[in-house]
Structure 1
């Protein structure tokens, strides 16, 4: 299933949501004090000073069209400063 967000170029698939939920749940189990910011489900504040930032499928249009030019983008911020990406 594919939906548009703001315009026809900005699409979201069920895979976007499933990947984000998978990552969100696994981060919460492994690092329960960390925050999480995902493109599909928004921000959940943590207490550790670390926030995971995720674009579950960066390049959804190529993904849904069977092209290989997409990825899962993940970064970690420490008090708002990128430390891993």
Structure 2
């Protein structure tokens, strides 16, 4: 009888510890901003899982990468670099 109670207490303590660790990990990840969660470009094995089970996150990551790598438009050769209106400089992009 005492042996059975010991096993039940041991299993209960282990379950409590495991559930506490899971809750702490989930709480820690919930505080991370979304930009940091999906910071990687989606390459490798993780990208394949993302593309299959979370296609919107995968597509959002691809679009974010495209926009990050895009360059700003250059002005035409004859255009002035800026405009001055009432003493304020206005940049035309």
The answer, yes or no, to whether TM exceeds 0.5 is no
If each structure's strand is expressed as a fraction of its own residues, which one has the higher value?
1
Interval of TM-score (by shorter of Structure 1 and Structure 2) = under 0.3
Name which one, 1 or 2, has greater alpha-carbon Rg.
2
